[in-house]
Structure 1
Amino acid sequence: MLQSTRRWLRRNRTNFAIGAGVLGAGYMAGQYVLGKLSEARQRMSDERIAKENLRRRFEQNQEDCTFTVLAILPTATDNILAAIPVEQVLEELQRQKAERLSRSVGPSEIGTSAPPSVADTTEDDAHSASMQADSFIHASQVATEEPAEEETKSKKSKAQLWSEMKISSITRAFTLVYTLSLLTLLTRIQLNLLGRRNYLASVVSLAAPQSMAEGSRINLENNDDDNFDQAYGNDFETNRRYLSLSWWLLHRGCLDLIEKVQAAVKDVFGLLNPREEITLEKLSELTLQVRKRVEGATEEQRRTCKWLSFLLPPQDQEDYVLRESGMSSSSESTSPATTTSLRRLIDETSDLIDSPSFTHVLTLLFDAGFSHLVDNKISQLSYKIPPVSESSARVQEIVGGDVKAKVASSLAVFCRQAHSIGSGANNEYLAAIEQVRDLEAFAAVVYSSNFEYESPEGVTASVTRPGTAEGQTPAKPAATTEDSFESAWGKALAKEDGKEF
């Protein structure tokens, strides 16, 4: 029995060897496939986590942009209100009306009457207003005027005062809409560029060897609210200087806007009588004419309209802006690395501002701001047209086309809305502007494009693209930034939700 078993094993040992080899190979192949599947699952999981983390960072960045705009907008508002003191003109009109009333009725009756509003004052005075536009009074002139100048100002006719009131109130409201839109888009560019640098620095620090990453590691999730130097990258000094450049728009750019907007308002509204009754459609048409003079009448003119001079200082004024912002200039005790990094950020910001995509999105923000002012606030408060709903939009459009209101009634709304447009809390206009879908798409492209151009100090970024060796940072051609941005912007517009990056 034992002998026969040995003979059988000897005869079939080749088959056993082949079977064992097949089983072994099958086992090894199975383990290899399982390993690859596990690696693929892990890679997909890592990609999902990375994308979700990137999305959370991006969304947090957009919330930071909103809070930043609300925090610094009142600075520009104060400067614009001081440059166009509409309330002083109104006070002069009310003073003149009180003097006329005191001559026609007893003083005791005057004391019991309520102070007139803009619209009330117009009912009595605007019939004599011959509408020739006059220049507004700067706030700085109030304290420096000589008695002779005050006497001259007090002798201004009602026509002159109402002309000044009309031009100033409209100019102030329109300038604030432009300033709010520009500040919103500038802040989105600044914080998303810094957010991109922070994200890349985080990824690089995690991918770097432990000896390099120790002591400078930045977690992918930063829940420490007061850790500002990690909130927007690890180059705190560069970030401070870069963000301080918004001082130019808040203090200089908005005042330059006043001159441009005021000239357009004078051309369009100059001959309009405050006592005249016009339809909302006519007011919207006049507003559009002002916008065409400021932004451009054709698509080509709007596309080539340059806003850079309102948003960023010229290079020879950058040190002045830094000093006015409370920091030392670039040439004073600043490391070469900080200066280089700051220059790269400024240059990329300038390229974005001069891009056609910036002008496209900015025009949409202007549309949202002016629509909220004229189609919502003026229509409801001056023309008494109820809010538009989807079901009754057509009916209200037909009815609202026949409704007329005095220009003075709209001027009163322009005066009050100027404070709402520049408010730093519960700003309806900012909320309306941020409803523009292309704004978030633009911010997403800024946040996610041109990763390869960022190289955190002390670490070589191992971010690759086709045709680039691993760990090598490609050189930046002169026109590459704008071209790649325009390409990414076109892809972003092609996506329905505008959120994929």
Structure 2
Amino acid sequence: FSILLLLQLIANRLLHFFQYRDLWRRHKRKVLVTAGVLGSGYFLYKLYDAHRHRLADLERQLASERENDEFIKAQMQVHFENIQRIADTTTLPHAMHYLSCRIAEDLDLSHLTNRLMRGKGQPNTLSSSEKLQLWDRLKILSFTRMVVSIWAVTLLSLYIRVQVNILGRHLYIATARGLGSSNLLEDAELIDRDDQQKFLANADFLANHGLSTLISHMQTAATEVLKAKQLRDFFDTTVLQQIIMQILDMFMSMGSPHHWVDCLMPEDPRLYKFAMASSSDKTNPPDFTQFNQLMVETREVLSSAEFTSVVEISLKAVVNALVEEKGFQSGGSSLTLGMPLARLLPRISQICPSLLDEPSKNQFIQIIQSVPEVGLFFTLLYANMSTS
């Protein structure tokens, strides 16, 4: 009996085994597919979760970088505005006042007008040839003083803006590098304050060193353009505008290209040697200071075709405004209707000082700053972040 029970139990187990095997055979594909789907789903979930964490980390990193960028821009803007304020309230007014005094001193026409007035009151004191020589001298020097003033106010205002923008650009680069290396802003390698002041002080170079060359070359150009003009010749707005532009164009095209840059800043071949060494070796010589670098960059900007174009446009804008000046249009006869050159010369002498008024009252500086091409040029200059 026990043996029969054991055999029956074995038979039942075998029956169940074959039943399960048949079930497995019938549903094996479904089971495997289901297991595969569940496994793939779990794998995809883990993959998505890891990707989500990476995205969150990346977003936090980008947010941190944006905060750094905003901080850099804010600090850069504050420093740039400080430099701009110094230029507008200190550098440019001081340079303009000093330049005005130097031009008035070097191109003082009172000795000529006094001699002519004495000759008019005392007819026998001057011969006809002496009067003609004095009038011719007064003609040349009056136009020389006018075009020197036009050129000086235009180039000095543009030159100082170049300085300010170069300083601001260096600040941005230094600040970005400092924050990029996780250093504090105070640890960034900014331009040394002494070098900044020394650099901005070069705005007086024109008055101290370049003015004599400017006057000499401008007088040569004025003499050439005016040699055929007589005191009785009729001048109107168009003629005066053409004469002024001819003198300026002749001066700008004299000698070597960009020779006029030497009137604004010192010529130092040593700086070019350093610049070439820097561009070839990617390192600066030991005595290549930040001031040297600023001066090299400034000369490169002033010698560029883009800056020359801005200068030409600005000069034309100033000349156009000048010939419409009320000093030329008031009185018994206006420049619009025309007048003899002899009557025009005293008005030129009267108007010249207004060209070099202090910046806050100087309409010509405001005209230069409002020229669209000028604004675009300095926007691009400040945005040029190349360190090469």
Q: TM-score, normalised by structure 2?
A: 0.72
Aligned residue in 2 for 1:94: 117
**Aligned equivalents of 1:379 and 1:56: distance in 2?**
43
Task: Render the CA deviation track for 1:74-99: whole Å, top value 9, x for unaligned.
Answer: 21221111111123322333344445
Letter in 1 for 2:112: V
1:309 to 238, 246, 262: 262
Q: Give the secondary structure class of the aligned counterpart of 2:235.
A: strand
Letter in 2 for 1:405: M
**Aligned equivalents of 2:220 and 2:76: distance in 1?**
45
CA contact (8 A) 1:303 1:360 kept: no
Letter in 1 for 2:106: A
1:74 aligns with 2:23: no
1:404 to 312, 320, 338: 338
Supply the RMSD in Å over aligned alpha carbons: 3.9
Task: Render the CA deviation track for 1:112-164: whole Å, top value 9, x for unaligned.
Answer: xxxxxxxxxxxxxxxxxxxxxxxxxxxxxxxxxxxxxxx9x999843333222
Aligned residue in 2 for 1:371: 320
Aligned residue in 1 for 2:383: 448
Q: 1:32 to 1:315 in 2, by over 3 A?
A: closer
CA contact (8 A) 2:252 2:260 kept: no
**Aligned equivalents of 1:408 and 1:359: distance in 2?**
34
Aligned residue in 2 for 1:173: 146
Q: 1:409 to 1:64 in 2, by over 3 A?
A: farther
Q: Give the secondary structure class of the aligned counterpart of 1:314.
A: coil
Q: Give the secondary structure class of the aligned counterpart of 1:452.
A: coil
CA contact (8 A) 1:238 1:342 kept: yes
**Aligned equivalents of 2:135 and 2:196: distance in 1?**
47
Task: Render the CA deviation track for 1:331-369: whole Å, top value 9, x for unaligned.
Answer: xxxxx9675322222222222222222211111121122
Deviation of 1:172 after TM superposition, in Å, equals: 0.4
Letter in 2 for 1:368: A
CA contact (8 A) 1:238 1:339 kept: no
**Aligned equivalents of 1:448 and 1:88: distance in 2?**
50
Q: 1:317 to 1:338 in 2, by over 3 A?
A: closer
Q: How many residues align?
A: 339
Task: Render the CA deviation track for 1:376-410: whole Å, top value 9, x for unaligned.
Answer: 4565347647xxxxxxxxxxxxxx5xx22232333
Alignment of 1:6-45 (within 5 A): 29-37=51-59, 39-40=61-62, 43=65
Q: TM-score, normalised by structure 1?
A: 0.57
**Aligned equivalents of 1:64 and 1:411: distance in 2?**
37
Task: Render the CA deviation track for 1:40-59: whole Å, top value 9, x for unaligned.
Answer: 55655654665576566656
**Aligned equivalents of 1:360 and 1:17: distance in 2?**
71
Letter in 2 for 1:413: R
Q: Give the secondary structure class of the aligned counterpart of 1:304.
A: coil
Alignment of 1:107-126 (within 5 A): none
CA contact (8 A) 1:238 1:338 kept: no
**Aligned equivalents of 1:93 and 1:427: distance in 2?**
32
Q: Which runs of 5+ in 2 are unaligned?
A: 1-30, 272-284
Q: 40-49 or 409-418: which moved more?
A: 40-49
Deviation of 1:430 after TM superposition, in Å, equals: 0.9
Letter in 2 for 1:162: W
Aligned residue in 2 for 1:251: 208
Aligned residue in 2 for 1:159: 132
Task: Render the CA deviation track for 1:442-494: whole Å, top value 9, x for unaligned.
Answer: 323333335435xxxxxxxxxxxxxxxxxxxxxxxxxxxxxxxxxxxxxxxxx
**Aligned equivalents of 1:310 and 1:195: distance in 2?**
24
**Aligned equivalents of 2:152 and 2:310: distance in 1?**
15
Deviation of 1:72 after TM superposition, in Å, equals: 0.8
Q: 1:237 to 1:43 in 2, by over 3 A?
A: closer
Letter in 2 for 1:283: L
Aligned residue in 2 for 1:347: 296
2:159 to 186, 207, 210: 186
Aligned residue in 1 for 2:175: 202
Q: Give the secondary structure class of the aligned counterpart of 1:307.
A: helix
Deviation of 1:427 after TM superposition, in Å, equals: 0.8
Letter in 2 for 1:167: I
CA contact (8 A) 2:233 2:341 kept: yes
Aligned residue in 1 for 2:277: none
Letter in 1 for 2:148: T
**Aligned equivalents of 2:256 and 2:224: distance in 1?**
23
**Aligned equivalents of 1:197 and 1:40: distance in 2?**
25
CA contact (8 A) 1:69 1:184 kept: yes
Q: Percent identity?
A: 20
**Aligned equivalents of 2:82 and 2:302: distance in 1?**
23
**Aligned equivalents of 2:102 and 2:119: distance in 1?**
28
Letter in 1 for 2:358: G
Q: Give the secondary structure class of the aligned counterpart of 1:416.
A: helix
**Aligned equivalents of 1:33 and 1:193: distance in 2?**
39
Q: Give the secondary structure class of the aligned counterpart of 2:387.
A: helix
Aligned residue in 2 for 1:433: 368
Alignment of 1:252-267 (within 5 A): 252-267=209-224
Deviation of 1:275 after TM superposition, in Å, equals: 4.0
Deviation of 1:171 after TM superposition, in Å, equals: 0.9
Q: Give the secondary structure class of the aligned counterpart of 1:245.
A: helix
CA contact (8 A) 2:107 2:141 kept: yes
CA contact (8 A) 1:89 1:165 kept: yes
**Aligned equivalents of 1:288 and 1:209: distance in 2?**
54
Q: Give the secondary structure class of the aligned counterpart of 2:339.
A: strand
Q: 350-359 or 238-247: which moved more?
A: 238-247
